[in-house]
Amino acid sequence: MERLIIKGGKQLQGEINCSGAKNSGLPILAASILINDSVLIGNLPHLKDISTMLELLNSMGTDICFHENGDIEVDSTKIHTLEARYDLVKTMRASVLVMGPLVAKYGKAKISQPGGCNIGARPINFHLQGLEKMGAQIKSDDKFIYIEAKKLLPVEFKFPNVSVTGTENLMMASVFVEGKTTLKNCAKEPEVEDLANFLNSCGAKIEGAGSSIISIEGVDILKKTHWEVLFDRIEAGTYLVAGAITKGKVKINKIIPEKLKCLIISLEKMGFKIFCSENSIEIDARTATIKCQDFSTDPYPGFPTDMQAQLMALNCIGEGSALITEQVFENRFQHVKELRKMGANITLEKNFAVIKGVPNLVGSEVTASDLRASASLVLAGLIGKNRTKINEIHHIDRGYECIEEKLNKLGAEIIREPLA
């Protein structure tokens, strides 16, 4: 067990490169099951969740080779086990992404019930409903879901609610289905589009990814490719907020600013200057007066729920008050209790949070409850008087690559220490 200790009060300045997105890397790794050869994947972040997915694939028979330049070669042509192990899936719900590829290629799968961050109900019933409509037979017990399909059929399926992993799973399940499969009310996230682009580079015929309707024309085989994973827009957004909250000047490279449009608009309304180029973004907060700003989370292209906690931390020291409405997950205010320990003035009612800005926050000992909650505590710690100690940082290591190293490069003072 480890914790982070942050000495607050440092103004961040400088530039960093953005890492690849784990939410792109995970489905692309799962999709390797579909490929009739090895694939070379670059820009994968060094994260616990990526390691867990690689371990899961390896346990099923996938060969994995790490190249000196950071690329990872994945060969899933010799899979011998069609089971996603309980001890791995329980720690990361994205492990269910192997379900669609396994059923598509081998006609069956045994998947443990998913785990991951405790941020509310995220059932996979939409995944299963879609597979059932395609002809799969599904059984389940307390620990496992059993899926079998002699032949998947082309269908038209509308998701009852938008689901990112549901969209990805059914898109992958459909790549070999003879005929045309149409998915409606799909997630529009850039990571979904990145997965479709990856599959198309292997020979798939997928159209409409990034919109609400995706069509898949089945093909016989998918071939090898070399793919660079999309940048992590949530990591980029988090470091933008780090520059904002410390009233610094921070530039993030290796990104696509258009994918951050909703966050950029919110930050500009709060009083910050944002400068965009083709593959970088810079925030200048040195002379800003921070103004509290209302916002509501929504599926992409709306304001990302994965940035809600970070922008809440920023609002805590703004002028005035802000109303935050969480419309994606029902249990995503667990960071509020910890921010209050640091002096934040936050009132909760159902899926609403009202923040009244205070002049400053105070360092305290706090505990991370989930991935993005932990990021908000790091941001608050950057400006907290005295020192902030953050426990349970295994959450942050699931989604942020070398967070203390990147922030220290910008001028922060953060150390990671083991707990006895």
In whole angstroms, give the CA distance from residue 99 to residue 225.
Answer: 22
Please give the helix or strand (H or E) that residue 12 lies within, else none. none
Cis, bond preceding 160 (omega within 30 deg of 0):
no
Q: How far, in whole angstroms, is CA 134 from its chain's centroid?
A: 28
**Chain centroid to CA 309:** 14
Tokens representing 265 are 């608009």
Contact 313, 380 (CB under 8 A): yes
Which candidate in 117, 186, 292, 316 is catalytic? Answer: 117
Among residues 84, 94, 17, the alpha carbon closest in space to that of 50 is found at 94
The string over 211-227, giving b where at least 16 C-beta atoms fall within 10 Å of a residue's C-beta and e elsewhere, is: eeebbbbbbeebebbeb
The partner residues of 108 in beta bridges, in order of sequence, read: 148
Count the Cβ atoms, other than its own, within 10 Å of residue 5: 17
- Work out the burial of residue 164: count CB atoms within 10 Å of its CB; fewer than 13 is exposed, 13-18 middle, 19 or more buried: buried
State the amino acid at position 88 in one-letter form. L
DSSP character at residue 96 = G
DSSP 361-419: -B--EEE--SHHHHHHHHHHHHHSBSEEEEE-THHHHTT-TTHHHHHHHTT--EEEEE-
The yes-or-no answer on residue 117 being catalytic is yes
> Quick one: three-class SS letters along 283-324?
EECCCCCCECCCEEECCCCCECHHHHHHHHHHHCCCECEEEE
User: Which of 47, 58, 53, 59 lies closest to 30 in space, CA to CA?
Assistant: 53
Active site residues: 117
